């Protein structure tokens, strides 16, 4: 198999619905074979000429889609989605963070109402981003600059194709990173208990309520252990499967549910630590948005982890079919 052809077929197939991407990939391979036969050559130069003639994979994929794209044409539809994703990925967390940091924490409003208000504000910003980004690309297309946007200012060439994906979806580096992040949870809890910056009668004053060690913290350690087991399972399989996605969903739901219940308590912080901190710095833990920000971050990270696992599950069958016969 020719690596350049594999890269091109994958670049097209990834932009298509899962229901027809494999059929289109096979059809596209047959088309490329016919075009190469017509040229009477299968060397690398002939392959490059054929792929250049077929054109930008984003534009070709748009032609295979059954849904209409009248508002934003196929030449700029891919760049439009990519630009939109990048802006939203930056803008929405920033808006939520700013609204939480400068929320009306001194009023009678509950933590839940402040968090909901921050999320609502982020959604409003998201709507504006979508509208104005779409209008910008509509103007670009109508002005005749679509080709420059799609090509990044230059004509598309096979050199612009993304590299082939690794045969293994879940790498050793990802496993090590996940283990390190998970290990920080028990390490941080132990550190705050035995290495607190504040002391009382020579004993460290922990940040969190010591009563949490009776049930809440052991349960958290159990969730961490289960998560570590899931990471090992993922690495052993090497790619996402439906059982792995379901298990990942369950672990993330348990993780979010645990912290939602924990943060609803009124005694998460150690009163002795809060009093010492207020006396020395004037900072009031009880009135701070720390728990709200932590909860939003936990939900966002878990949601993205679930979505990413589903996306990779959908990609895995196509990539295995398309890369059949490609050397590892």
Mean pLDDT check: name the lowest of 11-20, 147-156, 269-278.
147-156
- In this prediction, residue 75 has a pLDDT band, given cuts at 50, 70 and 90, of low
Mean pLDDT of 206-233: 92
Burial class for 159, CB neighbours closer than 10 Å (0-12, 13-18, 19+): exposed
Q: Is the pLDDT of residue 72 over 70?
A: no
pLDDT of residue 327: 40
Q: Are 76 and 140 in contact (CB under 8 A)?
A: yes
- In this prediction, residue 155 has a pLDDT band, given cuts at 50, 70 and 90, of low
pLDDT of residue 258: 92
DSSP 8-state class, residue 42: -
* Range picked from 70-79, 167-176, 254-263, 314-323 for highest mean pLDDT: 254-263
Q: Is the pLDDT of residue 68 over 60?
A: no
- In this prediction, residue 143 has a pLDDT band, given cuts at 50, 70 and 90, of low
Burial class for 267, CB neighbours closer than 10 Å (0-12, 13-18, 19+): exposed
* Range picked from 111-120, 164-173, 178-187, 307-316 for highest mean pLDDT: 178-187
Token digits of residue 182: 């998970």
Mean pLDDT of 201-215: 90
pLDDT of residue 326: 43
**Three-class DSSP category at 203:** strand
Q: Is the pLDDT of residue 218 over 90?
A: yes
Q: Of all helices (H) and strands (E), which one includes residue 276?
A: helix 271-281
Token pair 């994958």 is at which residue? 10
DSSP 8-state class, residue 215: T
Q: Is the pLDDT of residue 146 over 80?
A: no
Token pair 């792995």 is at which residue? 244
- pLDDT exceeding 90 applies to what percent of the chain? 14
Over the stretch 268-305, which tens digit does the pLDDT of each residue have?
899 998 898 888 888 888 778 888 888 888 888 899 99
**Three-class DSSP category at 180:** helix
Helices (H), strands (E): how many in the chain? 12, 2
Q: Is the pLDDT of residue 116 over 70?
A: yes
Average pLDDT over the chain reads: 79
CB atoms near residue 18 (< 10 Å):
12
Over the stretch 39-62, which tens digit does the pLDDT of each residue have?
888 888 888 888 888 888 877 877
């Amino acid at each position: 198999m020719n690596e350049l052809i594999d890269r091109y077929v994958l670049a097209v197939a990834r932009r298509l619905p899962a229901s027809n991407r494999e059929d289109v990939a096979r059809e596209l391979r047959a088309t490329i074979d016919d075009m190469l036969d017509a040229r009477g050559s299968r060397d690398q130069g002939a392959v490059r000429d054929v792929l250049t003639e077929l054109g930008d994979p984003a534009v070709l994929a748009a032609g295979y889609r059954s849904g209409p794209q009248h508002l934003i044409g196929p030449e700029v539809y891919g760049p439009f989605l990519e630009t939109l994703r990048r802006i939203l990925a930056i803008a929405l967390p920033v808006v939520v963070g700013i609204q939480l940091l400068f929320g009306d924490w001194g009023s009678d409003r509950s933590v839940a109402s402040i968090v909901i208000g921050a999320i609502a504000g982020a959604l409003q910003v998201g709507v504006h981003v979508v509208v104005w980004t779409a209008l910008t690309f509509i103007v670009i297309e109508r002005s005749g600059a679509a080709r420059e946007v799609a090509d990044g200012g230059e004509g598309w060439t096979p050199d612009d194709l993304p590299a082939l994906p690794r045969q293994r979806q879940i790498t050793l580096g990802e496993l090590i990173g996940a283990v390190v992040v998970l290990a920080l949870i028990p390490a941080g809890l132990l550190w705050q208990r035995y290495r607190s910056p504040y002391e009382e009668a020579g004993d460290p004053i922990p940040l969190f309520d010591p009563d949490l060690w009776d049930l809440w913290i052991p349960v958290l350690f159990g969730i961490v252990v289960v998560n570590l087991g899931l990471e090992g399972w993922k690495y052993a399989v090497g790619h996402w499967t439906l059982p792995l996605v379901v298990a990942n969903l369950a672990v993330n739901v348990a993780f979010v549910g645990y912290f939602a219940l924990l943060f609803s308590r009124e005694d998460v912080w150690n009163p002795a630590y809060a009093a010492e901190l207020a006396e020395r710095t004037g900072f009031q833990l009880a009135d701070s948005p720390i728990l709200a920000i932590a909860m939003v971050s936990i939900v966002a990270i878990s949601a993205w982890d679930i979505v990413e696992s589903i996306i990779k599950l959908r990609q895995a069958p196509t990539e295995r079919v398309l890369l059949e016969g490609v050397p590892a």
